[in-house]
Amino acid sequence: MKIALQVRRAPDLETLEHGHPFHLTRIFAGVRLQTASGWTEQHRAIIDTGSPYAVIPAPIWKSARSRPLFSSEIRGIVPGTSAAVKASFRMVQGILVDDRHTSVSLDIPALCPEISDLPFILGFCGVLDRGQLFVNTSRHIAWLRFTS
């Protein structure tokens, strides 16, 4: 099963403001999470090959069925506790969707913060490690092929 991903390229407004016309390229997937009565609406998540786990903002994970595992923190490249966001490490069940296909059901380990202003990110564990990721940024083509 092959799920089409979206490749989006946009100007980096900060660098443009300083006279450097760089662009940001991101890869997105359509995601639905399991709820008590079915599935959430489709959400757009960033595919992040540098993230070991998913990050799901509060309004999205709170509407989904999830199983808490332990308390944790989300940290990025900035060292120290001042850059940490408290989160609950949870298991959620989800599917990736495109215009024509739906993936197999995925058990996704996710960091779930109480705040809503973080992006929805899909990392390796439970998603990218389940298949083959193909990306051709010059042609704006990407997909994830699930092997099982």
Token pair of 108 as six digits: 């996704």
Question: Domain of 43: which CATH number?
Answer: 2.40.70.10
Of 85, 127, 79, the C-alpha closest to 103 is 127
Q: Is 139 exposed, middle or buried (0-12, 13-18, 19+ CB in 10 A)?
A: exposed
pLDDT of residue 84: 86
**Stretch 43-68: mean pLDDT:** 96
pLDDT of residue 129: 95
- Is residue 42 in a domain? yes
- Is residue 112 in a domain? yes
pLDDT of residue 147: 78
pLDDT digits (tens, 9 = 90+) for 58-84: 999 999 999 999 999 998 777 766 788
- The Cα 95–Cα 87 span in angstroms is 22
pLDDT of residue 75: 86
- The Cα 109–Cα 65 span in angstroms is 13
pLDDT digits (tens, 9 = 90+) for 88-145: 999 999 999 999 999 999 999 999 999 989 999 999 999 999 999 999 999 999 999 9
pLDDT digits (tens, 9 = 90+) for 22-42: 999 999 999 999 999 999 999
Q: Provide the domain limits for residue 35.
A: 2-14+30-76+83-146
- The Cα 126–Cα 145 span in angstroms is 14
Number of domain units in the chain: 1
In eight-state DSSP terms, residue 140 is T
- Is residue 24 in a domain? no
- Is residue 53 in a domain? yes
Report helix, strand or coil for 36.
Answer: coil
In eight-state DSSP terms, residue 97 is E
- Is residue 116 in a domain? yes
- Is residue 6 in a domain? yes
